Amino acid sequence: MTTPAPPARIGQRVPNPRAFDAVTGRTRYTDDHAFPGMLHARLVRSPHAHARIVAIDAAPALALPGVHAVITGRDLPVRYGIIPWTQDEYPLALDKAAFVGDPVACVAAIDEATAARAAAAVHVTWEVLHHVLDPVLALRADAPQVNAAARSGNITKAVQLEFGDVDAELARSDVIAEGDYWFEGTTHAALEPHCAIGMWEPHGVLTVISTTQVAHYLHRELARVLGLAEDRIRVIQPPLGGAFGGKSEPFDLEFCVAKLAMITGRPVKLLYTREEVFYAHRGRHPMQLRLRLGATRDGTLTGCELTTLIDGGAYASFGLVTTYYAGQLVTAPLRLRAYRLDSTRVYTNKPACGPKRGHGSVQPRFAFEVTVDRLAEQLGLDPIELRRRNTLEAGERTVNEFLIRSIGFRDCLDRVEHASDWKRKFRQLPYGRGVGVAGSFYISGTNYPIYPNPMPQSAVQLKVDRSGRVTVFSGASEMGQGAAAMLTLITAEELGVDPAAIRVVVGDTDLTPVDLGGYSSRTTMMAGNACLRAARELAGRVRQVVAATWACPLEQVALIAGHAVDREDGGRRLPMVEAFRIAEGQLGTLGGVGHYDTPKDVHGAYRGGTIGAAPAYSFTAHVAEVVVDVETGVVRVEHVWAAHDCGRALNPMLVEGQIEGSVYMGFAEAIFEEHVFRADGLHRGPSLLDYRLPTTLDTPEVTALVVESADPEGPYGAKEAGEGPLHPSIPAIANAIHDAVGVRIDRLPFSPGRVLAALEARRLAG
What's the CA angle centered on 349, arms 60 and 687, to 5 degrees? 70
Starting at the earlier edge strand, list the strands of the sheet with 617-628.
433-443, 617-628, 635-645, 701-707
The helix/strand/coil state of 97 is strand
CA–CA gap between residue 20 and residue 685 (Å, rounded): 34
**Contact 504/484 with Cβ under 8 angstroms?**
yes
CA–CA gap between residue 681 and residue 679 (Å, rounded): 5
pTM of the model: 0.96
pLDDT of residue 1: 32
CATH assignment at residue 352: 3.30.365.10
| Cα dihedral 402, 609, 655, 669 in deg (nearest 10) | -120
Q: Is 754 contained in some domain? A: yes
Question: What are the pLDDT digits (tens) for 721-761?
Answer: 999 999 999 999 999 999 999 999 999 999 999 999 999 99
Three-class secondary structure assignment of 339-408: EEEEEEEEECCCCCCCCCCCCCCHHHHHHHHHHHHHHHHHHCCCHHHHHHHCECCCCCECCCCCECCCCC
- Tell me: do 59 and 195 sit in the same domain: yes
Residue-level length of the chain: 766
Domain end position, chosen among 552, 576, 596: 596
CA–CA gap between residue 202 and residue 207 (Å, rounded): 12
- Tell me: do 629 and 569 sit in the same domain: no
Burial of 712: CB neighbours in 10 Å, binned 0-12, 13-18, 19+: exposed
* Mean pLDDT to the nearest integer, 556-578: 93
CA–CA gap between residue 271 and residue 38 (Å, rounded): 13
The helix/strand/coil state of 4 is coil
CB proximity list for 765: less than 8 A, separation 6 or greater: none
Burial of 645: CB neighbours in 10 Å, binned 0-12, 13-18, 19+: buried
CB proximity list for 697: less than 8 A, separation 6 or greater: none
pLDDT of residue 14: 85
Range of the domain at 91: 38-129+191-242+247-280
Across-strand partners of 707? 645
Domain end position, chosen among 596, 622, 640: 596
- Tell me: do 436 and 560 sit in the same domain: no
- Tell me: do 618 and 719 sit in the same domain: yes
Burial of 499: CB neighbours in 10 Å, binned 0-12, 13-18, 19+: middle
Across-strand partners of 42? 107
pLDDT of residue 8: 62
- Tell me: do 461 and 573 sit in the same domain: yes
Question: What are the pLDDT digits (tens) for 403-420?
Answer: 999 999 999 999 999 999
CB proximity list for 173: less than 8 A, separation 6 or greater: 294, 295, 296, 302, 303
pLDDT of residue 766: 77
Name the residue type at position 229.
A
CB proximity list for 128: less than 8 A, separation 6 or greater: 48, 50, 51
Backbone φ, ψ for residue 417 (5° rounding): -60, -45
Across-strand partners of 595? 459
Q: Is 162 contained in some domain? A: no
Q: Is 159 contained in some domain? A: no
Q: Is 629 contained in some domain? A: yes
Q: Is 5 contained in some domain? A: no
The helix/strand/coil state of 281 is coil
Average pLDDT, the chain: 96
In the chain, the N- to C-terminal Cα span, in Å, equals: 77
- Tell me: do 567 and 435 sit in the same domain: no
pLDDT surpasses 80 at 43: yes
Domain end position, chosen among 550, 566, 596: 596
Name the residue type at position 742.
G
- Tell me: do 461 and 574 sit in the same domain: yes
Question: What are the pLDDT digits (tens) for 595-651?
Answer: 999 998 899 999 999 999 999 999 999 999 999 999 999 999 999 999 999 999 999
Q: How many domains does the chain have?
A: 3
* Predicted confidence band of residue 15 (pLDDT cuts 50, 70, 90): confident
CB proximity list for 601: less than 8 A, separation 6 or greater: 403
* Predicted confidence band of residue 151 (pLDDT cuts 50, 70, 90): confident
In DSSP notation, 45-96 reads: E-SSSSEEEEEEE-HHHHTSTTEEEEEEGGGS---B-SSGGG--B-SS-SSE
- Tell me: do 373 and 480 sit in the same domain: no
In DSSP notation, 716-753 reads: GG----SSGGGTTHHHHHHHHHHHHHS----BSS--HH
Question: What are the pLDDT digits (tens) for 72-121?
Answer: 999 999 999 999 999 999 999 999 999 999 999 999 999 999 999 999 99
Q: Is 22 contained in some domain? A: no
Q: Is 518 contained in some domain? A: yes
Of 18-22, 387-391, 456-460, 523-527, give the lowest mean pLDDT range: 18-22
CATH assignment at residue 211: 3.90.1170.50
Backbone φ, ψ for residue 638 (5° rounding): -90, -35
Element (DSSP H or E) covering residue 473:
strand 470-474
Closest by alpha carbon to 451, among 167, 29, 86, 25?
A: 86
- Tell me: do 583 and 470 sit in the same domain: yes
Q: Is 269 contained in some domain? A: yes
Question: What are the pLDDT digits (tens) for 423-440?
Answer: 999 999 999 999 999 999
pLDDT surpasses 90 at 523: yes
pLDDT of residue 390: 98
CA–CA gap between residue 574 and residue 302 (Å, rounded): 62
- Tell me: do 649 and 588 sit in the same domain: no
pLDDT surpasses 60 at 3: no
pLDDT of residue 191: 95
For residue 228, the tally of other CB atoms under 10 A from its CB is 16
* Mean pLDDT to the nearest integer, 197-214: 97
pLDDT surpasses 50 at 455: yes
Element (DSSP H or E) covering residue 419:
helix 409-419
For residue 153, the tally of other CB atoms under 10 A from its CB is 14
pLDDT of residue 128: 98
- Tell me: do 551 and 591 sit in the same domain: yes
Backbone φ, ψ for residue 289 (5° rounding): -130, 145
CA–CA gap between residue 136 and residue 134 (Å, rounded): 5
DSSP state of 325: H
Rg (CA), the chain: 27
* Mean pLDDT to the nearest integer, 715-719: 97
- Tell me: do 607 and 588 sit in the same domain: no
752-764 helix and 729-741 helix, angle to the nearest 10 degrees: 40
pLDDT surpasses 80 at 7: no
